[in-house]
Structure 1
Amino acid sequence: MGLTQSIGIDAHVTKQVKSPVIRINLAEETGQTLLWRILQNDNIAAVHMGPPCGTSSRAREIKHKRRYNPPPLHSTAHPDGLCTLTGASLEKVRAANRLYLLCSQVMEWATANGIIASIENPLRSHAWATSYMQNWATATEVEYPHQLCQAWAQCLYRCFLSLGAIESPQELVPNSDISLVQASKVATGTQPRGKKLKPLMREYDYFLTIQGPQCVLTELPTKCNSDTPVPTTCTTSPHSSYIPAQAKRIKLPYQVGEKAEFDRWETVYGIAWTPQAFIARAAGRSHPGHFLDGVHPVLKSMFDSGANKSLSCRAKERSEQMRKWITRASELARGVEDGKGDSPCHAKAILAKKNLKLFEEMISASGSPDIGLAKDVARGFNLMGDIPTGSIYPDRPSYATLLPEQVRRMADVARPAIWEAAKKIMDPEVAVEVHRITLEERDKGWLRGPFAPQDLPKEAILTRRFGVKQSSTLSDGSRTMKVRPTDDFSESLVNSTNSCAESIQPMAVDSILATMVYRDRSWGHEKLTGKTIDLRKAYKNLPLATEALGDAYLCVMNPETGEPEAFQTLVLPFGARAAVMGFCRTSYALWRIGVSLFGLHWTVFFDDYFLVASELEERHVDMAQRLLFQILGWETSSEKEAEFRSISKILGVQIDLSDSKAGQLTSAEMRVLRGRLIFAESQIFGRLSGLHMQNLSRWEHAVGAAPIDAGLKVSLMFLRDRVVRGEPRTVDSGIGKVFHLYTDACYENGQGGLGGVLYNELGEMLSYFSAHVTEAQAARLNPLGKDTIIFELEALAALTGTTLLLHSAAISPADRIVVFLDNDGVLGRIISGRSGLGLDGQIIQGILEWEQSLRSVVWYERVPSAANIADLPSREILDGFDVNLQIDIDV
């Protein structure tokens, strides 16, 4: 429906919920405070309330024999609760009444602010008669039935449309609300699993709306097997005298109009595609990678504006910007204005090398909407409460489940527990290194301490610090191990107080590759080189606000004394949600300044930048990025920063640009353990590892230690060989041919049929096959004696079509293929790469091996059964098919 950010709020959350639910007890004052904070978000469009009905139920007045009868708690004379209530019954009624009062307040607020609101309770419930509602047998509540949820959602949807809302697209379209992360995956040839993306083609050709009397509309069929005349008492939009065959009712009849006395009802049918119409429109849509580029709009604007400019012209513009900002930095250095006038003393010391006035001016010149960032940096960042944002990331709200004052009130009790937990050392070497780094940070003025527990303020929040071993790539390409101190602000509940309107969107490997593809198509083939830039002690460059210092005590084990110590951090800690957003806003600002002002082709992933340049411009580009960091007072890690090379490493991935002049880019990663295998697998071509990764997932959730069985050993050996020997994923910027393959199967009376039809990008048929599956052949496909083998036949049709009509020798890496199937089970198994263990698994495995041999980007898509042209040859109906295009096969 497009309402993708809808959330629920409840004190009890079950596993059966179908949308995100936040666990908040609204009967408590703190829970209601959190609710009102959520309701203040600008994107609130509707509120639905379902207060408890158990205490107010009239069913308590019904007496049943031979079973417990819950006592009545309300009556018509006493709707707010009986005067005789005591104990638990009284508390239940009071809690319910608090919720009724809250509902009436929310309803009044929503009405005043033009927000759609509704309250649900049984019609005869005493809740409606309470004084709280007048103002505007069970203790366990039941969940809404699924059909009730659907009906309510449709009512809400129609209400939004009547108020001018734009209907959510039913298919993948350019410039939709698809995230940059998903778009970059599509652009580089990776098909996301599940329903993270809209389908390439919508399910129905169009919708037919029918209005008429209720009794007439309810008599219309749910699905039309043939053309069905529209009753004369009805009207249609668009105009039609009949409902076409294969149409399906998608909305039950509902009353329309403001006056209920008019018998005017409405229902909607989805009209199926004809095969010819589906083929024609699918041909026009080509392939998802052709209209989703996955490039950030700021970078895209730079590439588009530079498409008609020479290399020297772009360099001249970059030089002009460099001179302009060097001059401005010098002017500000001679003056007294540095943007830190309101900074607290500890922040001024941390920001000593930075001119925030210059930073503010460059942010504004870059066109970034985050114009308040420089002032936020000057004041310092808070750790608890609402996290400030800059309108630079997608709107994806997250909400607090605790109030800051709640956490501070509990701090005096929580500190001893965290102090004791810090004494448990898992790895002595890591503990020594964490303590050494902590003392080093103190000596640099980033921390204060150490403090004993009795020296801490009463409401001081203590957070445990621990170490994580990480491998790092040096400038010469070698790997080294280091320990990164991490502060567990989730354990201390600080992170539970955070609400944030935006979700960080880092630019990962797919984003890097997508920008290179777009550059190649915009600026032509160049010999590209790349380098990685890492901000030095990134989080330590940004201070905390004065108000946050009491929330920022770290508990660190001293291995020499065997006792923990407390330190107060003055800078952003690594492990706090608010710190991550504060830093990412800053690193984004640096990135955007580089793109918009200095014309740098680079991406940012938290504190890692990947800079790309052609061989002819790399020295000039390198000079620009160094100048940018220098005048803004940021240092980069010299041990990580290398010169421009055709092979660069970032985020654990090796990016090879040696073939970039031919329009190709390659990325690969070597790992052997599951956590990194998942990431490494995404950088290796094909989907063959799905089943083996599934085996590792099952093993990961096993309880206790167990010997490695034969199945796990096979999976581990396969993954080892695949990671070590598998060909890296190649992203080709060229645009070759597009092929659309349709396959289908049928199974009736113990026999079956297979069919497949291949089209080019113009919707012209290239070839097809049609095959009959005899009873004997069907029996071979059914060793377990199942009632139906339609799954196996559908998979076999796809295998036959791919290997027979799309031979790898005839396909180039730049070509794009879309395979259309109408069996969701087969489609899901192919996309996930989880082939299975039986005969059907062997067939799916054959499709994956075909894709592996192809070296081209294959996209698998659903086609509605009524629109699948391959249905005809699967039933040996070949009227209208050119016999010269038929390919004979032997089942």
Structure 2
Amino acid sequence: MPWSGHRVVMAGFVIKGYEAISSSDHNTLLSLGFHPPDLSTGDLVRHGDLAVLERPRFLAPTVPVIFELFAGTGRVTACLRRLGLHSAHGIDHVVVPEASSTPLIADLTTLEGQQLAMFWISNPLLSAVFAAPPCGTCSRARDIPLPAPHSGPAPLRSASYPDGLPSLTGPNLSRVQAANACYEFLAQVATLCHTSLLTACRAAANQQPKASKFPALVPEHRSVVLVRGPRAALAALPCEPMSRLKAAWTVPACCSCTLAQIPPDAQLLRQTPLSVNKGSLPDATQPSFADAEIGELAWGIPHSPEAFLKAATKAGPKGLAKFRDEWFEKWEARAIELEQAEKDLKASSLEPGALVSRRFGILQGTGDDAKARLIDDMSASTVNSAVQVCESPQPHSIDVIGCLLLECLENFPRDRFLGRSFDLKSAYRQLGLSEDALQHAYVAFYDQEDKLPSIHQLSALPFGAVRSVHSFLRVSHSLWEIGCSLGLLWACYFDDFPVVAGDSTAGNTTSTVTRLFNLLGVSFNLEHFTSGRVEVSNTASR
């Protein structure tokens, strides 16, 4: 339909696979006016929870933040990341070819770009700033005369005119002005760094002034309300200053306040005289609340227990993260101790009396979706006839997953939850065989290249053995049990592990599952992802 005035189009969509984009394609998008997300801030900037007028906010609770201004090729940032400082980021106005790292895009010669960069640099976890501002306009090399007939670049500045010669015009004037803007901005950054880092050092040494202490993760009071009115109406204080109310206090009708009643546990923060009849006081006497005609009371309104718990959880569940880190430190150390034993287990050779089973392939699916699945016929070699099981572990049904989601909805009805499914790759192939089973784990197949039968020993569960399903389900349930001990809200269905987490713990939950699987030598893919409304259905192929 027709419109008048300016038309603004906002797009909130990023194509899948953006992480594979090349530097030249990235520059093309920028030249066309697009503002693609920068992958280098994927672990710091949340794009999913931004309000319409809210800038991206850094969410790096435990790592130092380092910036490289005028990054260019970003080699400093790349080196810092290689050393493990993944919160290091470059800032520049373009992505140059052959860049070692992708910078945040901000033109520091413009006010808009400076404001954006200053927003990033103002992060409370700032630890260092590297800066290599452009020096072409102020280089003393311009003052070096060259032998005739050569002529070098003309000087653009002097000791008398450090901000640029008065005679500058055209491109030279534009270059000097742009460089001056960068230098002025860098001076602001230096001032900010000096103030911020000095405050941080004082805090670490417990020497910072009271008024400069870092704010608490959750403020002590939900809000502060003011009661103003005649001193006579406020003379009988319901409690002493800095004390808390034992019971609710009704605000006098002649006083102004946003609340009709001050709730219990509210704290009287201060009492201030607003209007004093100075004619009744000696000149050297300071006015007091008792002498005021009009007074003001400031009350700190407390959080409810539920609201405080929710705010504390949102501010950062450090206790759960600390518990998970300590658990992994213990078992990752044990994994290092077992590395040699794992190598010895994988070493194998064909031994006398070994049972050899037939391997063949079957084609599943049609067209482009067709894939070959290898089957190890353990029945023909009588291996399946020699084993039995006394129990049958069951995977979690859709009822278990549904009950888990219902519990989350009932206990946290207003919280935002995220969901993700971790799918094990080649699940059977990730579970090794015991030493006693290795002599029965040989398979033979016809080698199409050598035109000869080939025999190999399996080191992982064969697809075709009776005990493979039983053993895999036991391991799958064990993984689920370990995750539950780490506070994960998840279930297991064969090789799929659906997990849900609150918005404040989603990042730590993802890293916990990833770290757990890496510790146990399990690989997975993250193709399935869902958030918001919970939908349960069969796949399209079923």
Larger Rg: 2
Higher relative contact order (CA 8 A, sep 6+): 1
Question: In which range does the TM-score fall when normalised by the shorter chain?
Answer: 0.3 to 0.5
Relative to the length of structure 2, the TM-score reads 0.37
Relative to the length of structure 1, the TM-score reads 0.24
